[in-house]
């Protein structure tokens, strides 16, 4: 579809970067004229570093620079220098690789536990799983009552069927089975019996 519209700006946002657990993939091809790739640092260097790095074609980069130079849109030079120092530190590569391994272990443990409980879930990389559900609000509420915080999928989807987004970044592998059992119960609540 993009080949037919080479002047539409293609923006790819890589928010997880080096801790995503998967190599970067792009939709851009050589014939696409307008593009930008944005890599946020806040997910892997620290949430207070509201800094992103952008690459793109000359016109798109110039337009973003022009917009950033206006008023409150400028980015702190101190934060930029801190992000550069952290990302350039030789030990950062090892720490980021280790963080990526930990997130992959947590994601894989959660996916395996959900499969073992007959729950469909999808995720190839990053911090989140997508679990298709019929009633997002009911499942979110049921999990909340069991002590789990998940997000209704409505704000994360355009044409996809309903689902919930499960963030695995802090889900310990030892807790994955309990979470999967609670989610399976939430998806298939017992029906009320009649006496």
Low-confidence winner among 52-56, 140-144, 167-171 (lowest mean pLDDT): 52-56
Spatial CA neighbour of 179 closest among 116, 137, 135 = 116
In angstroms, the CA 84 to CA 32 distance is 29
Per-residue model confidence (pLDDT) at position 193: 54
Domain boundary among 88, 119, 145: 88
Of the pLDDT bands very low, low, confident and very high (cuts 50, 70, 90), residue 161 is: very high
| Residue 128 DSSP SS3 | strand
Residues 6 or more apart from 73 whose CB is under 8 A from it?
67
d(CA 188, CA 139) in angstroms, rounded, equals: 10
- 100 or 29, greater pLDDT: 100
Q: What percent of the chain has pLDDT over 70?
A: 95
What's the pLDDT score for residue 80? 86
Distance CA 49, CA 69 (A): 19
Residue 32 domain flag: yes
Q: Give the pLDDT score at 128.
A: 92
Domain count, the chain: 2
Distance CA 142, CA 144 (A): 5
Question: Tell me: the pLDDT tens digits for 81-97?
Answer: 888 888 888 888 888 88
Nearest one of 44, 57, 157, 147 to 101, comparing CA atoms: 44
Which of 182, 150, 176 has the alpha carbon at shortest distance from 164? Answer: 150
Q: What is the DSSP string of 37-68?
A: EEEESTTTT-TT---EEEEE-HHHHHHHHHHH
Q: 175 with 114, same domain? A: yes
Q: Are 123 and 103 in contact (CB under 8 A)?
A: no
**Domain contains 75:** yes
Asked if residue 193 is part of any domain, the answer here is no
> What DSSP character marks residue 193?
P
Residue-range definition of the domain harbouring residue 80: 2-88
Domain closes at, from 88, 105, 125? 88
Predicted TM-score (pTM) of this structure: 0.76
Q: If DSSP codes are grouped into helix, strand and coil, which group holds residue 122?
A: strand
49-to-45, 86, 93 alpha-carbon distances in Å: 7, 10, 18
What per-residue confidence (pLDDT) applies to 92? 85
Among 29, 62, 88, identify where a domain stops.
88
pLDDT of residue 192: 54
195 pLDDT more than 60: no
194 domain-assigned: no
End-to-end Cα spacing for the chain: 59
> Per-residue pLDDT averaged across 160-168, rounded?
95
pLDDT at 150 over 90: yes
**What CATH number has the domain bearing residue 111?**
3.90.1150.10
Q: Give pLDDT tens digits for 36-83.
A: 999 888 777 777 777 888 899 999 999 988 887 776 767 788 888 888
Q: Is residue 50 part of a domain?
A: yes
Is 100 in the same domain as 83? no
């Amino acid at each position: 579809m993009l080949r037919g519209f080479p002047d539409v700006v293609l923006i790819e946002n890589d928010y997880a970067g080096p801790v995503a657990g998967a190599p970067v993939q792009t939709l851009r091809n050589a014939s696409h004229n307008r593009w930008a790739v944005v890599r946020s640092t806040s997910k892997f260097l620290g949430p207070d570093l509201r800094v992103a790095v952008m690459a793109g074609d000359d016109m798109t980069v110039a337009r973003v620079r022009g917009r950033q130079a206006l008023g409150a849109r400028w980015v702190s030079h101190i934060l930029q220098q801190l992000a550069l120092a952290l990302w350039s530190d030789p030990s950062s590569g090892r720490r980021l690789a280790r963080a990526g391994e930990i997130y992959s272990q947590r994601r894989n443990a959660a996916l395996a536990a959900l499969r073992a409980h007959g729950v469909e879930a999808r995720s190839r990389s990053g911090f989140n799983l997508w679990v298709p559900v019929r009633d997002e609000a009911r499942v979110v509420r049921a999990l909340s009552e069991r002590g789990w915080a998940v997000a209704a999928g409505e704000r994360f989807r355009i044409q996809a069927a309903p689902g919930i987004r499960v963030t695995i970044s802090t889900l310990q592998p030892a807790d994955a089975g309990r979470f999967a059992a609670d989610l399976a119960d939430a998806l298939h609540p017992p029906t009320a019996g009649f006496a």
